[in-house]
Amino acid sequence: MSNDESWDGTVVKKSRAMLDGSNLYRRVTIRTESGETQKVRVHRALWKELEVGDRIAKEAGQEPRRA
């Protein structure tokens, strides 16, 4: 999903990984209204705030936020 897209969905999974050995990446897997699932990278504060089942939304050109 690019920064120019807008979407909303429900968090189905939270994950974090140190893919390059030095940076911790936080992602959530979301299920959109259309039923597709996508992995989305989010900032630490939002990742800590979200739980499975929470709604999340993103407007074009903005960061994802809790809906």
Rounded to a whole number of angstroms, the CA Rg of the chain reads: 12
DSSP 28-46: EEEEETTS-EEEEE--HHH
Q: What is the pLDDT of residue 4?
A: 84
- The whole-model pTM stands at 0.86
Question: How far apart are alpha carbons 52 and 28 in whole angstroms?
Answer: 9
Tokens of 20: 């390059």
pLDDT per residue as tens, the chain (67 positions): 677 889 999 999 999 999 888 899 999 999 998 999 999 999 999 999 999 999 999 999 999 999 9
Residue 45 · residue 64 · CB < 8 Å: no
